[in-house]
Structure 1
Amino acid sequence: MIMFKFKVHFSLVLPQYAFFFCIFSFCTALPAHTQNRYSYAWNAMGSEFNLVFYAPHDSIAKVASDSVFKRIEYLNTILSDYLDGSETNRLSATAGSGEPFLAGPILFDILQQSVHYSKQTKGTFDVSVGPIVQLWRRALRRNYFPDSAQIHEAKQSVGYKKIRLNAKNCTVMLTQKGMRLDFGGIGKGYAADDALRILRYFGISAAFLDAGGDLTIGEAPPQKKGWEIEVSSGGKDSTAKRVLTLKNCGVATSGNTYRFMEHNGVKYSHIVDPRTGVGLTTHTRTTVIAPNGTAADALATAFSVLGIKEGKKVAKKLKSVRIWLLEQNGLEWKTANF
């Protein structure tokens, strides 16, 4: 589970004016000179969201961007584990009670997707990792290293198999007392996907959103094959990078470049393995390109935990996903389609 995220290095090559089809109540071909590039920034979910898109004029761009950021703020009130009254925290408060919690459609949907990615990745991505995340947050604030008893206790309340979902009536049950959900490894990707859906309501499809380093990409800019994205290994070797032309996908990176805890000469990553309850000591720089932002966000977390050896086995089942892994010992591996 990832507690913090780092920005992927990227560059955008965008024309100032171009052409695309804008959909209002009818599909209308618009002259090339009416298409303008707009960019907006907003702080939400503990990150900066940078939004770029093409629209025919200022008024539509302003209303569309305002709608996107209001939607992201709304999602935060549901998914945040920092806000006392969030729907996520209200669900967590019922853990171990034996009572089903009636979830709203957004919370239920992201839980369904989260469990799906947990199954795909052998539990290396797990939104029930909240108790472990909370333990390490306290440790970082108070500058101490959790002992084995504390880690063991936190682990008892972790495990995606302890999340019971009833799709018929949209109820959720957290079966173990002390369970706590944390959407830090999937929430921004999910919000970015939703943001691009909002833009499409305004007839805007050529769009790009950087959600704190998680990139969600819509249709290509006008008269372009895609958005030009530079992904880097994050290492000292400046040649370890790729410039990719992408559209309709999500891109996420994960790694230990800036945040870690050092204890007795050992560096523990900010990325925690849900299976051990401890930050990773073998660090893997991960880049994932997936069909959408939600998948990319979750899978980047998982493959950082899996590393190359385990990651190869899991990747075989993910045909539509491109993966690039670089371990601290210099070992590198990419899927054939990267």
Structure 2
Amino acid sequence: MNPPPEPVPSHQPVAVRAALEAMATRFEILLYGEQPSALRAAAEEALAEVERLEARLSFYRPDSEITRLNQHGATGPVRLLPEVWTLLHRAVSLARATGGAFDITVAPLMEAWGFTGGPGHRPDPATLQAARERVGVQHLELDRPNWSARFLRPGMRIDLGGIGKGYAIEQAVEILRDAGITSALLHGGTSTAFGLGTPPDAEAWQVAIDPPPELRQPQAPPLAVVNLRDRALSVSAVWGKAFTDEEGQHGHVIDPRTGRPASDAVLAAVVTRSPTDADALSTALLVLGEPGLEQLSRLWPDLRGLVLSRREGNWHIRTHGLEPHPAYQTIVKSL
């Protein structure tokens, strides 16, 4: 009896999806390839990396490296894992490059405004001033030979919420590349995404940027559709976690320089090579507003960006290398 013939590979790409709840959001991966088992194994390893990083970087987990630094950093140097120290060093460089518009030491201000584990509230002037005095990367000392960090002012704390998702996606992408994956789309909470290679039968991954709630009329198109090919997209916005008082609505993105919620823009989107940089720079751009687009594009030549703002009841879009949907062309200004 002859053995059955070997199946002939179809060479048709198959899709595998995987997801994980981590960093207070949902991470999802879509991969294409020819071997489903290899795709699933790569996706699981990439998501396991996200989970591992959450355990080290979380502001809320009592056993994380960040919590340990926040608890003991004001009393002396705290030795950190080299990976965590290196991310802090990168974050400090980003803070300096953005003139403090992005700053991982913003945690005291987040707490003062009630956004740490709460819906937000206006702080009294004394509380706000005390928090402002504990913010600024110039008060964070990093010691490379000892892989240590310490705070130069008591009451300082760091929060990697503005960079952690991007870093986790960046490391997950490296896992996929090491596994030989050449076609994948990853996102964390839909706010930061990375397109690895291209999807089947397309030149790039297409990711939509949603307009703010006020512009989401029935049948309203996305604000823009971004093509990603080995590029990251990150979007920051003032809606989501916010509160309203007699002075209006206040979002959870705080300007570390003024101590107040960002108000110069409603939405900021950044495309660049690094998910880590994109995550931090979209936060910085939301704080900086329209002038920040030119400032950041000088420092990151590959950067593409978009800023949506509202002044005196009128909407404005400032762009650099990103094309808004034609429906919004009447409010567009190019850099």
TM-score normalized with structure 2 length? 0.85
Residue 47 (1) aligns with residue 25 (2) = yes
Residue pair 2:240, 2:251 contacting (<8 A) in 1 also: no
Change (3 A) 1:88 1:140: closer
Change (3 A) 1:84 1:110: same
Residue pair 1:128, 1:158 contacting (<8 A) in 2 also: yes
Residue 79 (1) aligns with residue 57 (2) = yes
Unaligned residue ranges in structure 1 (runs of 5+): 1-29
Q: Percent identity?
A: 27
Query: How do residues 50-69 of structure 1 correspond to structure 2 at under 5 angstroms?
Result: 50-69=28-47
Query: CA–CA distance in 1 between the matches of 2:208 and 2:164?
Result: 23
Change (3 A) 1:116 1:232: same
Q: Which moved more, 1:296-305 or 1:32-41?
A: 32-41
Residue pair 2:166, 2:277 contacting (<8 A) in 1 also: yes
Tell me the matched-pair count.
308
**Residue of structure 1 aligned with 2:284, choices 302, 305, 329:** 302
Please state how far the C-alpha of 1:58 moved relative to its aligned partner: 2.6
Q: Which moved more, 1:152-161 or 1:261-270?
A: 261-270
Residue pair 2:114, 2:120 contacting (<8 A) in 1 also: no
Please state how far the C-alpha of 1:240 moved relative to its aligned partner: 6.4
Please state how far the C-alpha of 1:295 moved relative to its aligned partner: 0.9
Query: How do residues 1-338 of structure 1 correspond to structure 2 at under 5 angstroms?
Result: 33=11, 35-97=13-75, 99-137=76-114, 141=118, 144-213=121-190, 214-234=192-212, 236=215, 238=220, 241-329=223-311, 330-336=315-321
- Kindly name which structure, 1 or 2, has the bigger radius of gyration based on alpha carbons: 2
Please state how far the C-alpha of 1:264 moved relative to its aligned partner: 1.6
Post-superposition CA distance 1:48-77 (Å, at most 9, x none): 111011233232122222212221111011
Two-structure CA RMSD over aligned residues (Å): 2.3
Residue 165 of structure 1 aligns to a residue in which SS?
strand
Query: CA–CA distance in 2 between the matches of 1:227 and 1:282?
Result: 30
Name the structure, 1 or 2, with higher relative contact order (CA <8 Å, separation 6+): 1
Change (3 A) 1:307 1:297: same
Post-superposition CA distance 1:147-171 (Å, at most 9, x none): 0100111111110111222223322
Q: Which moved more, 1:300-309 or 1:234-243?
A: 234-243
Query: CA–CA distance in 1 between the matches of 2:260 and 2:27?
Result: 29
Residue 145 of structure 2 aligns to a residue in which SS?
coil
Unaligned residue ranges in structure 2 (runs of 5+): 1-7, 324-335
Residue pair 1:80, 1:183 contacting (<8 A) in 2 also: yes
Residue pair 2:120, 2:242 contacting (<8 A) in 1 also: no
TM-score normalized with structure 1 length? 0.84
